[in-house]
């Protein structure tokens, strides 16, 4: 059952029912025992009283037989007691007298004491008291049905109010639980009425204590989603703005190509357009890479791969670029040194570092890329002989869209930001420092 209210109601009703039934059984058993005890004593007392009345004086046997009933009736005023019957038999087996309403048959065939007999189709409990001197036998009995009735009445009298309470209890539970759950309904309504843009916290104050942890958790989630969305939005806005500049360049160059007075000007504009398209394309690729390193498709996916092999693969990919730039690329990475499952993040980071180094290097120089182990980390070191990063720009180079004064035309301003983000994702860090003898040394340090 998926309804809290229904389940609660069922459990409560079941529990109450079980308790009620147990109480009923227990009452019945204990009442029966007490009733037997009390009524048996009454039978015995009545018999002795009748016997003594006859023995000690005055009263005729008839009166005495009636007295057994009257005396008890006066004492208890109990309407069922009229079923108490008395018979006085002679020892020779003749009926001397009996009370009004006594059955036709002889109440008991037994001697002295208690017995149970079927008389005229009814079960009776009888106490017999024989008086051999005066030659009579007093039998006082009551019908078993009366006794059962008595027990039933007592039990019912005790349990009927409880039975009546049950629907009331159910109604109360239903209402109270409903009332408690109304806060959930309110919460649901508050959430479903919200526009997607509203990620403000939910009000905790009016909610019952039990709901507050959930609201707090929801608010925490809302905060995180809000922050993520803000980051995303600012990134998208930034990206859109960044793309507007190359677009403006394309637009302007296209207009120049259209209005160019001579072929040379037009050709030049077309070359510029090609460069602009290349730069825009690279920027879009870098934006996608940035998004990819920021939102990797789940944790480390796939089997671990050798770090040296990954570095070599990046170097192989970039070999054509190195060739075009006239820069040689030297990889020194012993296989089997270190491996990682974060292959995509690592390759993206390495590709950006090596590409940066290649593009910064003057023709004829060498870029070296090495993998080594140092203490607790695996270190990828990419070194170039480019102009290096100026001290003024050093603190900003890993900011998104930062482009230094000497930025190449194809730079997106995202490369080092991507590396830094990817490094952080992998639990590592990026360190940039001037290289001895000129150039830049980039160290990507990852946990072993």
Partner 1 sequence: MRILIVEDDAVLGDGLSVGLRLSGFSPELVETCADARHAIAMEGFEAVVLDLMLPDGSGLELLRELRQSGSDMPVLMLTARDGLDDRVTGLDAGADDYLGKPFELPELSARLRALTRRAQGRAENLLHWNGLALDTARMSGRRGPEEIAFSRREYTVLAALMERPGSILSKATLEERLYGWQEDIESNTVEVHVHHLRAKLGSGFIQTVRGAGYRLAPEAAT
The residues binding partner 1 (CB under 8 A) are: 240-242, 244-253, 255-256, 259-261, 265, 268-269, 272-273, 275-276, 279, 392, 403-405, 407, 409
Nearer to partner 1, 36 or 260 (CB): 260
Q: In angstroms, what is the minimal distance from the CB of 230 to partner 1? A: 16
Q: In angstroms, what is the minimal distance from the CB of 209 to partner 1? A: 44
Starting at the edge strand found earlier in the chain, the sheet holding 95-98 runs: 95-98, 85-90, 136-143, 122-131, 113-119
Q: In angstroms, what is the minimal distance from the CB of 284 to partner 1? A: 15
Nearer to partner 1, 279 or 385 (CB): 279
Nearer to partner 1, 223 or 244 (CB): 244
255: which residues sit within 8 A by CB, 6+ positions away? none
Q: In angstroms, what is the minimal distance from the CB of 251 to partner 1? A: 4
Nearer to partner 1, 216 or 256 (CB): 256
Q: In angstroms, what is the minimal distance from the CB of 293 to partner 1? A: 23
Nearer to partner 1, 32 or 403 (CB): 403
Q: In angstroms, what is the minimal distance from the CB of 330 to partner 1? A: 30
Nearer to partner 1, 112 or 251 (CB): 251
211: which residues sit within 8 A by CB, 6+ positions away? 183, 184, 187
Q: In angstroms, what is the minimal distance from the CB of 390 to partner 1? A: 9
Nearer to partner 1, 27 or 252 (CB): 252
Nearer to partner 1, 87 or 412 (CB): 412
**Tokens, residue 352:** 């950006």
Cα–Cα distance for residue pair 101/45, rounded to 1 Å:
20
94-125 exposure pattern, b = at least 16 Cβ within 10 A, e = fewer: eebbbbeebbeebbbeeeeeebebebeeeebb
Q: In angstroms, what is the minimal distance from the CB of 403 to partner 1? A: 5
Cα–Cα distance for residue pair 137/92, rounded to 1 Å:
10
Cα–Cα distance for residue pair 409/141, rounded to 1 Å:
121
Nearer to partner 1, 199 or 397 (CB): 397
Q: In angstroms, what is the minimal distance from the CB of 272 to partner 1? A: 5
Q: In angstroms, what is the minimal distance from the CB of 205 to partner 1? A: 35
Nearer to partner 1, 387 or 404 (CB): 404
Nearer to partner 1, 217 or 271 (CB): 271
Closest by alpha carbon to 371, among 399, 395, 349? 349
Q: In angstroms, what is the minimal distance from the CB of 241 to partner 1? A: 4
Tell me phi and psi for residue 306, to 5 degrees: -70, 130
């Amino acid at each position: 059952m998926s309804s809290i209210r229904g389940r609660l109601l069922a459990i409560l009703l079941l529990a109450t029912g079980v308790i009620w039934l147990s109480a009923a059984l227990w009452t019945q058993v204990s009442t029966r025992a007490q009733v037997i005890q009390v009524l048996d004593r009454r039978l015995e007392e009545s018999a002795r009283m009748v016997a003594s009345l006859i023995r000690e004086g005055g009263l005729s046997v008839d009166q005495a037989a009636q007295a057994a009933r009257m005396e008890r009736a006066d004492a208890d005023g109990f309407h069922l007691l009229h079923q108490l019957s008395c018979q006085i038999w002679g020892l020779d087996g003749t009926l001397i007298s009996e009370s009004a309403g006594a059955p036709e048959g002889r109440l008991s065939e037994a001697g002295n004491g208690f017995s149970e007999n079927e008389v005229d189709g009814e079960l009776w409990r009888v106490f017999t008291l024989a008086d051999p001197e005066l030659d009579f036998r007093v039998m006082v009995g009551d019908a078993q049905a009366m006794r059962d009735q008595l027990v039933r009445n007592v039990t019912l009298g005790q349990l009927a109010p409880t039975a009546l309470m049950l629907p009331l209890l159910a109604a109360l539970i239903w209402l109270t639980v409903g009332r408690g759950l109304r806060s959930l309904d309110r919460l649901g309504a508050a959430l479903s009425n919200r526009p997607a843009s509203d990620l403000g916290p939910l009000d905790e104050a009016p909610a019952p204590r039990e709901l507050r942890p959930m609201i707090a958790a929801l608010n925490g989630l809302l905060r995180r989603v809000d922050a993520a969305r803000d980051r995303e939005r600012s990134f998208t806005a930034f990206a859109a703005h960044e793309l507007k500049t190359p677009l403006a360049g394309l637009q302007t160059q296209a207009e120049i190509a259209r209005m160019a007075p001579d072929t040379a000007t037009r050709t030049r504009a077309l070359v510029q357009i090609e460069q602009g398209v290349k730069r825009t394309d690279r920027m879009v690729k870098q934006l996608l890479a940035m998004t990819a390193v920021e939102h990797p498709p789940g944790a480390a996916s796939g089997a671990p791969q050798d770090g040296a092999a990954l570095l070599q693969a990046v170097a192989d990919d970039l070999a054509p670029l190195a060739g075009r730039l006239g820069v040689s690329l030297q990889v020194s990475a012993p296989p089997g040194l270190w491996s990682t499952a974060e292959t995509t993040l690592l390759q993206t980071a390495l590709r950006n570092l090596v590409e940066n180094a290649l593009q910064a290097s003057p023709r004829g120089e060498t870029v070296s890329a090495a993998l080594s182990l140092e203490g607790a980390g695996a270190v990828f070191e990419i070194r170039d002989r480019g102009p290096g990063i100026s001290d003024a720009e050093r603190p900003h180079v890993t900011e998104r869209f930062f482009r230094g004064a000497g930025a190449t035309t194809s730079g997106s301003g995202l490369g080092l930001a991507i590396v830094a983000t990817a490094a952080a994702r992998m639990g590592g860090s990026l360190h940039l420092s001037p290289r001895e003898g000129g150039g830049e040394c980039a160290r990507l340090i990852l946990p072993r």
